[in-house]
Every structure is written in structure tokens, then in C-alpha cells.
Amino acid sequence: MNTLTEKQRTHFAEEGYILIQNLLNVEQDIRPVFDEYTEVLNQLAHQLHQQGEIALTYNDLPFGKRLVAVYRDSGQVHSQYFDCSLPQGTQADSPIWVGPQVFYALRNHKVLDVLEDLIGPEVFSNPVQHIRIKPPQDVIPNPTTDPLTGFISGFDVGATPWHQDNGVVLPEADETDMITVWLPLTEAAVENGCLQIIPRSHKAGLLHHCSTPFGHRIKNEWLDLDNQLACPMSPGDVLFLHRRTCHSSLPNLSDDVRISFDLRYNPTGQSTGRDVYPGFVARSRSQPATEQHDPTAWAQDWYDTRARLAIKNIPTYNRWGSNDPLCA
């Protein structure tokens, strides 16, 4: 039975996205993930306090205010400590969080039902996946302002520049039918940095990206910015994006954090664009025994990958050079 209506499937094909409100149940689907990250922050705060890097653990504050206090007191943004993927230049002690609730979020059956309608019954969890914890702009230490926007920019914590997710994977995945699943764990409003998209931009194919200190970006003059669309969302809402739909995020001008998942999926057997990282079969109608159901085994795959990359790291997974003449 199809989850999406014919109208919704047509909208995705024509517009390059579909936003489904209240797809997830906040208490059943979002709260367990948030609670797990609350414990991660608790561990981080106590670790930094023991190391003398922060004066207090701030355990009387709610998650967002506590994170801001820890970031401000330590003078660092500890985004990698929470992330469910490894950084470029992985070391043996590179932080990563691959807890069970993150795994269950990747396997959420309501999300997989929509994906099955979009890419078919063999669904692979692509390892290009992140949690985005965006602090207020004034908390970011040593800020660098993007001259094009006037905002602090960067994929990890600031305003995210315009890009296509096809552009941040290797060329071997150019024909992969990859879907981005973007969902907020907190309110994602215009004020605190919600996503922006350009409908129908996927029809232009893969655009050239420029390597900058703020991340890979598409030049504004190559974009139809008159049609940009802000996408404020609440926990429970889920945005599905075509791999070539141009999108960015606004800066966080509030006094609290904005938290979201940025996940990707593709048909099993197609390249993920970062095949050195461990993905898994999230759904298989033809071979259900191949599905990964064990969060401990999934986490171990990431730990094993970290150990392997610490010995022989990949030089880069960026296709766009910093000396590109088109970007001068």
C-alpha cells in the first residue's frame, strides 16, 4: 500500500521536494532521540568540567541553554562529539555518537514507507548522515563572516551555503537515486535557521560548486534566488529532497540551539558516494534477512571504520578544488 498519494509523488518529481507535516510522533519518534542526546551532552559537560575546561556542568539548564553555556564557557563548538558520522582526517580518538536511538531513527518505518514510494522497496541507509546542532551566532568562537551573506557560515554550526547534496559526494554516486531526509528535533523557524530550498532546481542537473572556508557552495548568480522558499518545520515534520535540489540554511539569530537530522538513503546496490563509510540495508522486500536490526553491530561498524581510517585515511571526499578558475 502506498504511503504517498499520486499528487505527492508528482509534486516530488516536479518540485524536487516534499514536506510531510506530522509524519512522526513527537513522543514516540523524537523524544527518545532527544533524551539520548541529552545524556551525550551530560557526559560531555562532566568530561570538560573534570578537565578544567569549563567552570560548571550547568546541569540545571535545559538542553539548548546548557549546550550554549558549555560552548561559551569552553570557547569551543563540540559538534563532532554528537555527530553520527566521522570527519575528514579521522583519528583514532575522533568523537562519534552512534547510539541506539540514532540507529532506530535511521530505521524509522514511517520514513522508510515514504522512501519506498520514492525509490523502491530496497532501501539502503547511506552513511552520509549528520546531526546538525546549530548554536546561536553569537556563541560561535572565532567567527568568520561570509562576505556574500554577512552571516557566520559553515556546514557544522553557521548558516549553510547553497549547495546540492549530489555535490558533496563523489562522482561515482552521480546517478545514485539518493534522497535526503531532513527532520528537526527542535523547532526550526526562520529566526533560528530553518532550511531554504529552490523548488524545481533539481531539473538543472548537477551544478558547479566552489570550495570556500564556509563549505562547498553554488554561486548566487547560478541560482534562481527569486524562487527560494523558506521551510519552517516543527518536530514530527519531515522534508524529503531530491539529491539535486538546491538548498541552504539560514543563520541562527535566536538565543537557543536548532537541532536537526540530515540523513540520506538510496536504493541498495547503488554507490553511496562515500563507500569507505558503513551504510546498511534499512529495508528489503526481496531479502528481509539482509536488513540490519542490531544497533550494537551498526555502532561497531563505525568504530571499526574509525580504527581503519586512523591508520590509512582517505585523502579527501571533495570533488571540487580550491583553485577552480570558475570560482575565482
What are the pLDDT tens digits along the chain (328 aa)?
A: 578 999 999 999 999 999 999 999 999 999 999 999 999 999 999 999 999 999 999 999 999 999 999 999 999 889 999 999 999 889 999 999 999 999 999 999 999 999 999 999 999 999 999 999 999 988 877 666 665 565 555 556 667 899 999 998 999 999 999 999 999 999 999 999 999 999 999 999 999 998 877 678 899 999 999 999 999 999 999 999 999 999 999 999 999 999 999 999 999 999 999 999 999 999 999 999 999 999 999 999 999 999 999 998 776 777 887 778 888 6
- Give the chain's domain count: 1
> From CA 169, how far away is CA 100, in angstroms rounded?
26
128 CB-side CA count, 13 A = 23
Residue 213 counted as domain residue: yes
Q: What CATH number is associated with residue 257?
A: 2.60.120.620
Residue 276 counted as domain residue: yes
Phi, psi of 248 (to 5 degrees): -155, 180
Which pLDDT does position 153 carry in this prediction?
Answer: 54
Which pLDDT does position 142 carry in this prediction?
Answer: 66
Q: What is the dihedral of CA 280, 284, 290, 292, to 10 degrees?
A: 40
Alpha-carbon distances, residue 2 vs 6, 107, 113, 244 (angstroms): 9, 18, 8, 24
> From CA 95, how far away is CA 17, in angstroms rounded?
32
Residue 325 counted as domain residue: no
* Per-residue DSSP letter, 132: E
Which pLDDT does position 188 carry in this prediction?
Answer: 97
Which pLDDT does position 155 carry in this prediction?
Answer: 55
Residue 39 counted as domain residue: no
Which residues lie below 8 Å from residue 147, measured CB to CB, with a gap of 6+? none
Among the listed residues 266, 160, 172, the one whose alpha carbon sits nearest the alpha carbon of residue 218: 160
DSSP state letters, 38-59: HHHHHHHHHHHHHTTSSS---T
End-to-end CA distance of the chain: 51
Residue 48 counted as domain residue: no
CA angle in degrees (0–180, nearest 5) for 217-221-225 = 85
Which residues lie below 8 Å from residue 85, measured CB to CB, with a gap of 6+? 96, 127, 128, 129, 130, 277
Which pLDDT does position 326 carry in this prediction?
Answer: 82
* Per-residue DSSP letter, 320: S
Residue 217 counted as domain residue: yes
Which pLDDT does position 317 carry in this prediction?
Answer: 73
> From CA 238, how far away is CA 263, in angstroms rounded?
11
- The parent domain of residue 152 ranges over 6-26+99-294+301-311
CA angle in degrees (0–180, nearest 5) for 262-187-153 = 55
Reported pTM: 0.94
> From CA 262, how far away is CA 130, in angstroms rounded?
5
